[in-house]
Amino acid sequence: MKQHAFLQQPELPFVEVIGSLTSKFSELWISLPNSSFPSSRVYSDGEQRENGERFERLMSDAAIGTESQSDAEARIRGLRNRIRGLVLETAEGEERDQMKGMLSAFSDAGDEFVRRAREFDRTLSLEGIFQALRNLWIINSMQEAFGVPVCVTPSALAYSLLYTYTDNFLDDVNVSPESKRGFNDIFGQRLEGYDVPQDSRRISKVSALVGLIESEYPRRLFPGVYASLLAIHRAQQMSLLQRQTTPSGCGRDILTISVEKGGTSVVADAYVTKGWLAPAETDFAFGYGVFLQFIDDLQDVTEDMKGASETLFTHARSTGTLDRTTNQLVHYLRQILFAGTPLKGPKAEALTDLIHRGSLGLILESVALNAQMFNRDYLKAVERYSPIRFETIRSLHSKRSSLQHRFNHQARNLDRLKSRAANRPSDGMKELRAKARASRR
């Protein structure tokens, strides 16, 4: 395996690029207004009620009984296709056709990803695979943005699965800080190109995933890929400090840490998509990654407040409500999609619209699910922008969680049955063992 000396050439300028982008998007966030929730689409009571009833019917159709895992997966695929149809209903003309093609390609890639993830590690939980799938969808978006085929490349599989083995371990409150630092040190050495001891199953799997990336992007030819992976690794280390100490204690503020972590994550997504990036592509990927980090922090604000992690949203909640910070997030989304470094290409408009719809939906869902953290008047005003009433969103979320729990339970039972079947001796082996016992007598 090659050593990391080749990284000395691109590493310093790449670090400077990341530092410049971190400053740029931190300043952008600070500059944005927070007194209003910008949106151009208001839904009537009738529209919200009708949309809610349709989603309620979809959830009822998706109810899982005692069918096999394959039947349950087919049922969920059918649900996904019907939801895709609902997303497309409000699009028009050529943009609708392009959006339909993108959603279909994303769906096919997702099915392929699940199959290959299970081949890589049969012990992966469905929760872990679904977590990795979220990153694959980001890579698929980058593939569309850059005009490359939407598919599951070795690097797309590897970088997405790395989240399952790294983030979950680093987020586990039952793992000591020393163990996390030790794992991070070894992981960093592997990203730099060193051989590392395969003294744990986690390290072995992580090393194999880095190897998949190396098989597609030789280090000597694509140094930017590995510089980007090391950049997100360094940001992850700073994020650990964010959980273990106060921001002032680690010498950096909450905003800077969040911006760098989010931005570098999607820059790495973009690099593993095609191996190199133009400055404008790096700019867009970084800004989009910052938004995804912020939306994750909004979604996880309740859990973060229970733990030791500080984010913009836990800080805002500690001093009041989340109204203004959420407004700022929506302004930020519109800025990076429509006023920053826009996407280019024949499907750029449809892709931008798709990202905007999905992202705004995540924000509104987070507001509905964390209603206790917002002013009552704010909830009433913002609910007009949601295609579904907030009360219905909470009901659907509860049903979806129950559905996912049952599906995961069935999948675990099926995996146990497969494992027992694989370990059960065949009839021929049973006969040989019987003969051996007889001969010993």
* DSSP 8-state class, residue 411: H
pTM: 0.83
Structure tokens at 362: 């995540």
Structure tokens at 264: 């570098």
Find where tokens 């028009």 sit.
Answer: 92
What confidence score (pLDDT) does residue 417 get? 55
What confidence score (pLDDT) does residue 107 get? 87
What confidence score (pLDDT) does residue 5 get? 36
What confidence score (pLDDT) does residue 337 get? 92
Structure tokens at 364: 């509104």
Domains of the chain: 5-420 (1.10.600)
Distance between alpha carbon 345 and the CA centroid of its chain, in Å?
24
* DSSP 8-state class, residue 199: -
Q: Which amino acid, one-letter code, is at 163?
A: Y
CA distance 77 to 82: 9
Q: Which of 341, 333, 393 minimizes the C-alpha distance to 357?
A: 333
- Sign for the CA dihedral angle at 179, 184, 189, 193 comes to positive
What confidence score (pLDDT) does residue 297 get? 95
Contacts 24+ apart (CB under 8 A), 7-13: 7/192, 7/193, 7/223, 7/226, 7/227, 7/230, 9/223, 10/223, 10/224, 10/227, 11/227, 11/230
- For residues 245 and 177, is the Cβ–Cβ distance under 8 A? no
CA distance 439 to 433: 10
- Per-residue tens of pLDDT for the chain, all 441 residues: 443 333 333 444 899 999 999 999 999 999 999 999 997 789 999 999 998 888 887 767 655 554 555 555 555 555 555 555 555 555 556 666 777 788 888 889 998 999 999 999 988 887 788 889 999 999 999 999 898 999 999 999 999 999 889 887 887 778 888 888 889 899 999 999 999 988 889 999 999 999 999 999 999 999 999 999 999 999 888 877 655 544 444 435 899 999 999 999 999 999 999 999 999 999 999 999 999 999 999 999 998 888 767 899 999 999 999 999 999 999 999 999 998 777 777 788 888 888 998 899 999 999 999 999 999 999 999 999 999 999 999 988 887 666 666 555 555 555 555 555 545 555 555 555 565 555 555
